[in-house]
Chain A
Amino acid sequence: MQVQAMHIANGIVDGPVSAMFAVFAALALAFCVWRARADLDDRLAPMAGLVAAFIFAVQMLNFQVLPGVSGHLLGGALAVVLVGPWVGALCVSTVLIVQCLLFADGGLTALGLNITNMALIGTAAGYLLVAALMRLLPKTPAGVGATAFVASVIGVVLASQGFVFEYWLGGTTHLSLATVSGTMAGVHVLIGIGEGLIAATTVATVARVRPDLVYALRRFRPAAPAPKPVPVKEPAA
């Protein structure tokens, strides 16, 4: 069997709550666009597009977890560590929108819910952890890798709890909330650990080759020293 990324479909959470989260997601993404422009200015479209294509391509790569069971990376925490929270959230949302429209994955009315969980909650939690951990851990490939692992596990679990919250607000069935929450957390801890292992190695690889590309490291790099003015000798009169 193949483990599929489960996107929320139509009809699991009721209309008003879905609409509320659609508005929330739209506002949050507008804020992300504004901040991402500060990171990338007019490079935003090509660079974010390529990063989104990278996330999409990574989700298409399957690897075998056990004989017969394969999984794929979700890439949210990976994007946060590599390109930062604003561009990361934009890229993951673009992937979700295209998956919904072109691949019928995830309900059209649940798009706001899916973006809130996977692109916003996952990224925000991941980024707060990255910002906190990078103060404590060494700024080396290993340190960044460990950060990526923790951010992946906790980001994925919190994103799944985002669904529990939405379900509590407007679920169309009456399952006990503790059961839903426990099941979601249990499954996603496993997914998160797999995700985290791969994200950690990936980030460490990039940090070894091009540390200047890793957003989490870039914040701590000393700014390039201002060029010293070259003293110009006045020609002797």
Chain B
Amino acid sequence: MGAGHAHPLHLDRPSPVHRLAPEVKIAATLLFTIVVVATPREEFWAFGGYAVLLAVVAAVARVPGNWLLKRASIELPLVLLAIALPFAGHGERVTWLGMSLSVDGLYGAWNIFAKGTLGVVASLLLAASTTMRDLILGLDRLRCPAVFTQIATFMLRYLDILADDARRMRVARLSRGYDPRFLWQVKAFAVSVGSLFLRAYERGERVYLAMVSRGYDGRLPRAGRDKATPRQWVQSAALPVAAAAIAVMAS
């Protein structure tokens, strides 16, 4: 556990994007995604422009392209859905390579593919350049209700511990010669999920008592790190503003 709590998508690089305060990055990602989703699907050029913008951000953040591609495979189920759409769609149809494809389905597939991919890449860039702790700090500064940031803080802090608990239980089971791996052996899996819950809940009670005995009264002390400067807000506003400019020009 000494290895810090970096999440699997974080890429530690010395780049200007990494140094930006987290709240400006969250705001910029959200605004950019909203502009992308609001763009009509017929504006092919606009989507190309957005992709170029993201490529520039990735280059400044020193996030390699194939790293992004590999992580973007999370949207693969959606791509499969998008491929099915032209065949399943209704309305006017065109014939291409002997296949009858629905025009509306083609547009729909393009829409889902383009907006989905741009959204995933934008989120990946945010995740790659922001640590977990900074992200929560950013949400807190964006006036996200404290209940949520606190629950999320505890969740991320204890996630690794619980995952390790689960791993230890699995190792214990394996070393006793039992390796449930098929549907009819699911009981062993479920029982260990049950004991994982017990361990988590009892740990929660202990953590709460430990906190109360150290003076917890329902609020956590704020971690101090430099707030975003106006200059940082301007820098990160470049992404959504450029996207909005592209959207306006294309329409």
A interface residues, Cβ below 8 angstroms from B: 4, 6, 9-12, 14-15, 18, 30, 33, 42-54, 56-58, 60-61, 63-67, 73, 78, 82, 90-91, 93-95, 97-98, 100-105, 107-109, 172-176, 179, 197-206, 209-210, 213
A43, A93, A197, most chain B CB atoms within 10 A = A43
Report the separation of the CA atoms of residues A167 and B202 in the bound assembly, to the nearest whole angstrom: 41
Residue of B nearest to A48 (CB): B151
Minimum CB–CB distance for B99 against chain A, Å: 18
Q: Select which of B29, B147, B153, B194 is within 8 A of A44 by beta carbon.
A: B147
Whether B119 and A11, one on each chain, are in contact in the complex, defined by CB atoms closer than 8 angstroms, is: yes
Distance in angstroms from B64 CB to nearest chain A CB is: 16
Q: Are B198 and A213 in contact (CB under 8 A)?
A: yes
Contacts A11-B114, A50-B207, A101-B127 given; does A94 touch B148 at CB 8 Å: yes
Secondary structure dominating the interface of A: helix
A82 touches B197 (CB 8 A): yes
Contact B201 A108 (CB under 8 A): no
- B233 sits at the interface (CB 8 A): no
Does A10 contact B194, Cβ atoms closer than 8 Å? no
A172 and B190 contacting across the interface, CB-CB below 8 Å: no
| Contact between chains at B120 and A9 (CB < 8 Å) | yes
CB-based nearest A residue for B132: A102
CA distance A103 to B135 in the complex (A): 12
C-alpha spacing A210/B217, complex, angstroms = 28
B237 CB-CB contact with A under 8 Å? no
Contact (A53, B159) CB under 8 Å given A15-B34, A15-B38, A213-B198: yes
8 Å CB interface, B127-181 against A:
127, 132, 135, 145, 147-148, 150-159, 161-163, 165-166, 180-181
A9 to B72, CA, bound (A): 12
In whole angstroms, how far apart are the Cα atoms of A73 and B193 in the complex?
A: 10
Pair B193/A104 contact, Cβ less than 8 Å: no
Residues of B within 8 A of A61 (CB): 166, 189, 193
Report the minimal beta-carbon distance from A73 to chain B, rounded to whole angstroms: 7
Enumerate 15 A-B pairs (CB-CB under 8 Å) in ascending A order: A11-B112, A42-B218, A50-B155, A50-B162, A51-B204, A53-B159, A54-B201, A100-B123, A101-B126, A107-B33, A108-B122, A172-B108, A172-B111, A173-B105, A206-B197
